[in-house]
Structure 1
């Protein structure tokens, strides 16, 4: 088979390099699909995609971004997620740096591809004058900008909370004690992201991913100039990093540390102090027989 011969020739033997390629590809897909969904909300008049369509579209982008990269790298496609797993010792600092670089470039080239695909539509929409903000704004296709009502402090809280909740859900989904099938995990992560968008999209569009926000912003600076680096730009970078670490540790302290090690282990509630006590094997059999 020609594919087997090519695989033998081109297969990357270094595990970290394979993981870097996977993170690049997964993040590229995330931004290519997700930003295209946003473009189809902003550019047509009347709008093609309602905001719930953006939520679902980004969720599907997450599903496939995670799915294509999961076996090689774990499917982080988000530096904040990688940082969270670094904080609990599940990846090394070298892996984190490599993942971060790959995620950044994946997002950068994802944004570049979207710009190439929608260039004519953008020209018709803004008359060839690239602006940040206002009725002809198209910079918001690529990076987050706060709604008029949103201040920096509240914006930081928004990104902190949204990312903490998202990473909490991810930690639950990938925790082996919860026994989710590996094929189901990308779907659950994507579904979780739809929930985050539906819950937290109003203030600033829920970026919750430093690479997904900063790399496209840097790309758009080529065409939109320095105006893309508003006083807001650091919020969707710092907020997600802090929120991700808090979210993953909250999961372990509230849930993960207390989940039975054995998937078959059951608990009963003792009277009095309501302490949880694992059933013995004999008690489990007796309970099932009853």
Structure 2
């Protein structure tokens, strides 16, 4: 097949006195490589994030509080960036991918690959946490899987609004949270400003998610990510919670789908208008303009080959 290149078996071969070590097979198709990496990093992020929620809920406060959930998702994001950062950029968020396409940092033809990979990773992570905490969940709720009420457990997997929150206020909440996410991600990757130090990008992004959680998370669980929310929601509908996962909160389910992409484009645009567009030219030797700064593998850095189907970061 074109997507695969056969090579020698793993190990060291003797050829004319030269030791050659090569992998047995590797992927060349960029869509497949990116999709696999994005699925895996999303899976890692969601397993740690959903796992932290499951532990807090089923432990009834004995194994952590709200801060534990914030830390779980933050560190999960950091680990996800380590897993897929140099291959897919570890977006792990359809709002991030959509925003990068909007501003020309990712080819539009790559968007379906990212969205599908993120959905797959999130769905599998929900299934994993359900399996790991199956007995704890059923012991906690007595086998009655509910979306609302004192012993509700659907919130382990997807986000739901607080009882006081209207759909309009919730929509603004999600737009605002995602706008802050993308605004700060743009700053962290801006090589002409004050970017995250090389090698510290995963930690910086994780701290950003932690900051959003502890400041903007109480209204609706700060989904700020369409694929993070809808895939586990679909899983819970299949696993026993039923159609109530879509009816609860006055039909809340569509808000984390629609609001985050709007917020992402808005937040990134604000950073560009207020900061990025006004950077002074950088001069190199002889006074000539340096058109391209040294590329860094930061979470949102633009690569020169995006037009050929490769990814941004």
Q: Which interval holds the TM-score relative to the shorter structure?
A: 0.7 to 0.9
Alignment partners' CA distance in 1, 2:123 and 2:221:
19
Counterpart of 1:28 in structure 2 is: 43
- Structure 2 residue 52 is matched with structure 1 residue 37: yes
Tell me whether 202-211 or 39-48 shows the greater mean CA deviation. Answer: 39-48
Matched, 1:255 2:272: no
Q: Tell me the CA shift for residue 263 of structure 1.
A: 9.3
2:271 counterpart of 1:239: no
Give CA-to-partner distance per residue, 1:114-139, whole Å, 9 cap, x none: 00000000010011111111011000
The answer (yes or no) to whether the contact 1:164–1:244 under 8 Å persists in 2 is yes
- Residue number in structure 2 paired with 1:226: 243
Select the residue among 164, 178, 191 that pairs with 1:149.
164
Q: Indicate if the aligned counterparts of 2:226 and 2:257 stay in contact, CA closer than 8 A.
A: yes
The match for 2:88 is 73
TM-score by length of 2: 0.80
1:62 to 45, 61, 77: 77
Equivalents in 1 of 2:55, 2:271: separation in Å? 36
- Is there any run of 5+ residues in structure 2 with no aligned partner, and where? 1-8, 13-19, 285-313
- In structure 2, what is the Cα distance between the partners aligned to 1:6 and 1:143? 46
Residue 261 of structure 1: how far off its partner (Å): 4.6
Decide whether the 8 Å contact of 1:63 with 1:187 is kept in 2: yes
Whole-Å Cα distance in 2 between the matches of residues 190 and 132 of structure 1?
A: 29
Which residue does 1:135 correspond to in 2?
150
Give the count of matched residue pairs. Answer: 264
- Determine the C-alpha separation between the residues in 2 that align with 1:210 and 1:103: 9
* Change beyond 3 A, Cα 1:3–1:219: farther
Give the 3-state SS of the residue equivalent to 1:11 in structure 2: strand
- Give 3-state SS (helix, strand or coil) of 2:45's partner: helix
Structure 2 partner of 1:85: 100
Q: Does 1:181 align with 2:191?
A: no
**Aligned alpha-carbon RMSD (Å):** 1.9
- Which of residues 194, 197, 220 is equivalent to 2:213? 197
Instruction: Give the gaps of 5 or more residues in structure 1.
Output: 265-290
Q: Deviations over 1:139-158 (max 9, x none)?
A: 00000011100000000000
**Distance in 2 (alpha carbons) for counterparts of 1:132 and 1:101:** 26
- Change in CA separation of 1:3 and 1:255 when aligned onto 2, cut-off 3 Å: farther
Task: State the secondary structure of the residue aligned to 1:72.
Answer: coil
Q: Is the 8 A contact 1:177 1:263 kept in 2?
A: no
Tell me how far apart the structure 2 counterparts of residues 43 and 205 of structure 1 sit (CA, whole Å).
17
Match of 2:120 in 1: 105
2: CA distance, partners of 1:3 / 1:107: 35
Task: Judge conservation of contact 2:158–2:232 (CA < 8 Å) in 1.
Answer: yes
More helix by share: 1
Query: What is the Cα deviation at residue 11 of structure 1?
Result: 1.7
Q: How far, CA to CA, are the matches of 1:105 and 1:176 in structure 2?
A: 32
